[in-house]
Amino acid sequence: MASTESSSPSLALQVSEIACGATVSFASPQAKGEREESGATRNDPPQARGEGKEGAHWRAVAAASIGNVFEWFDFIIYGFFAAMIARLFFPAGNEAASFLLTFASFGVTFVMRPFGAVVMGDLADRHGRKAALTLSISMMTAGTAITAFAPTYASIGIFGPILVVAARMIQGFSAGGEFGSATVFLAEQNPEQRGLYASWQFAGQGLSTVLATGLGAALNGLLTAEQMEVWGWRMPFLFGLLIGPIGCYIRRHADETLEFRSAQTTSGPLWETFSWGKTRLLVAIGTIVLVTVAAYTAVYMPTYAVRELGLPPVGAFLATMLAGAIQVVMIPLFGALSDKLGRLPIATIATVAVLITVHPLFAWLVAVPTIKSLLFVEASVGVSVAAYTGAIPALISELFPTHLRTTSVSTSYSVGVAIFGGFAPFIIAWLIDATGSNLAPSYYLMFAAAVSLAALGAAYRLGFR
């Protein structure tokens, strides 16, 4: 173990120290157990510092959620301003080609996720969830900063889009480790309420949707089209940069989970995951499909409402903000309900609801393209998706043992997102352009629901409830 702990973790420590001004301990649980009891530190259990369990748990929720908010705020803003970024950084012969190039750069982020999942998952399973969380938010801050300050194609030519793509790749790498580390960190706070605590992973994403759409609506309402194109589109990314230092501070003062401190680590979590848990990885990937397709379809909805339905941008942003608000409120409720009724019953009912209702809802929206109908459709789909996402984080955490959990959850999520979610806006835009049908989002959501329903059945056969 000594030889494996002296290479990549030391580099990660240096990066985290530079970005956050903090030192993260990479000592193994065994080494921590051998310390002299000379005083309580942040790595000690909360009781050793005279703190209550409940307060420590909710501080952990804040530490994990702020990174999720930061990650998703950046992704959502990039999706919302895709048309503008297309004109500024990816000029092409026609508008459709430029638009597709922008969403391709959006999708390349997700190609990087599996790489980040492997590196950060290994770090979290061998050296602690806290170490990986600190490094991931440091990298997110760097990626957002590059996007915020990147000169356009008109200013520096091809180097403009290269900078944007590089920023997306950094974001993708960090996000690949962020989801697994944050989800496991939350799920391990209290095994008796794993559903409630783990559900804050997606509730935090809902909060970022509210922030991003609210800011997008405000900017579109206050600024002219020319102001938006010259400097207005950069403002949300600059606002996002404010979250980074706050997240670093909160995560630096968070406690490592008791489950990790009590676990025996392994020197090769990725190898052991693939040799032991291939079936469970496939099940986890399948359950993620509906989560990620629904999330990135929501990212695309303001663009869809403006381009395909002819609705005003402010109204389109407000509809998506409503869906985000539903997530913030409903996901923890369904997560807590899954602690009482089980993960699979809630997730199965929600998946069937999406499968049955999404096509009629979109058909009605296309036939009656108004802000009211858009609000109703996003709210209806949002409730079903909230029920599903409330139960899933705990389920995928429970599929894997503690010493492999972050690597397994990170890898399964990142692969699912890379294949099905990251290119969802690109796929939907291409389907609409190729078929001429504005119902493309409903078809893709139905496909995702069918895949996840099959995965839930596989989880049931493995003995999970």
330's tokens: 């409903």
> What is the sign of the dihedral through the CA atoms of 323, 68, 227 and 301?
negative
pLDDT for position 277 = 80
Q: Is the pLDDT of residue 69 over 60?
A: yes
> What is the sign of the dihedral through the CA atoms of 86, 90, 93 and 97?
negative
> What is the tens place of the pLDDT at every residue in 185-198?
999 888 889 999 99
Decide if 38 is inside a domain. Answer: no
pLDDT for position 342 = 94
* More confident: 360 or 174: 360
Q: Is the pLDDT of residue 3 over 50?
A: no
* More confident: 213 or 406: 406
Q: Is the pLDDT of residue 213 over 80?
A: no
pLDDT for position 461 = 93
CATH number at residue 109: 1.20.1250.20
- Name the nearest CA neighbour of 57 among 168, 190, 177, 164: 190
> What is the tens place of the pLDDT at every residue in 363-399?
999 999 999 999 999 999 999 999 999 999 999 999 9
The 10 Å CB-count burial string (b at 16+, else e) for 25-44 is: bbbbbeeeeeeeeeeeeebb
Q: How many angstroms separate the CA atoms of 23 and 252, rounded?
A: 8
For residue 103, name the pLDDT band (cuts at 50, 70, 90).
low
Q: How many angstroms separate the CA atoms of 363 and 157, rounded?
A: 42
Answer whether 232's CB lies under 8 Å from 219's CB. Answer: yes
Q: Please report, rounded to a whole number, the percentage of residues in the chain having pLDDT higher than 70.
A: 85
Q: Is the pLDDT of residue 82 over 50?
A: yes
* More confident: 460 or 58: 460
Rounded average pLDDT over 226-236: 89
Decide if 32 is inside a domain. Answer: no
User: In which domain, by residue range, is 311 found?
Assistant: 8-13+57-461
Q: How many angstroms separate the CA atoms of 362 and 47, rounded?
A: 52
Listed range (31-45, 62-76, 87-101, 341-355) with the worst mean pLDDT: 31-45
The mean pLDDT value of the chain amounts to 81
With vertex at residue 421, the alpha carbon angle to CA 305 and CA 362, rounded to the nearest 5 degrees, is 35
Query: What's the number of CA atoms in the CB half-sphere (13 Å) around residue 278?
Result: 3
Answer whether 404's CB lies under 8 Å from 125's CB. Answer: yes
- Name the nearest CA neighbour of 287 among 348, 206, 337, 341: 348
Residue 147 Cα distances to 77, 104, 381, angstroms: 11, 16, 31
**Cβ-Cβ contacts under 8 Å for 446 (sequence gap 6 or more):** 354, 355, 358, 359
Rounded average pLDDT over 229-243: 87
Total number of domains in the chain: 1
- Say which residue the tokens 């944007």 belong to: 164
- Name the nearest CA neighbour of 92 among 42, 43, 18, 161: 161
**3-state percent helix, strand, coil for the chain, nearest multiple of 5:** 80, 0, 20
Decide if 22 is inside a domain. Answer: no
- Name the nearest CA neighbour of 12 among 135, 137, 165: 135
- Say which residue the tokens 């608000």 belong to: 325
For residue 18, name the pLDDT band (cuts at 50, 70, 90).
very low
Decide if 27 is inside a domain. Answer: no
pLDDT for position 47 = 45
Decide if 226 is inside a domain. Answer: yes
For residue 96, name the pLDDT band (cuts at 50, 70, 90).
low
Other residues' Cβ atoms within 10 Å of the Cβ of residue 345: 14
Rounded average pLDDT over 296-302: 82
Decide if 164 is inside a domain. Answer: yes
Q: How many angstroms separate the CA atoms of 328 and 110, rounded?
A: 24
> What is the tens place of the pLDDT at every residue in 246-296?
888 888 777 888 888 887 777 778 788 888 888 999 999 999 999 999 988
Decide if 44 is inside a domain. Answer: no
The pTM assigned to this predicted structure is 0.79
230's tokens: 């010259």
pLDDT for position 37 = 38
Q: Is the pLDDT of residue 335 over 70?
A: yes
pLDDT for position 272 = 83
pLDDT for position 97 = 58
pLDDT for position 31 = 41
Q: How many angstroms separate the CA atoms of 230 and 60, rounded?
A: 40
pLDDT for position 52 = 56
Residue 78 Cα distances to 96, 186, 378, angstroms: 17, 27, 20
Decide if 444 is inside a domain. Answer: yes
Q: Is the pLDDT of residue 400 over 50?
A: yes
Q: How many angstroms separate the CA atoms of 328 and 339, rounded?
A: 18
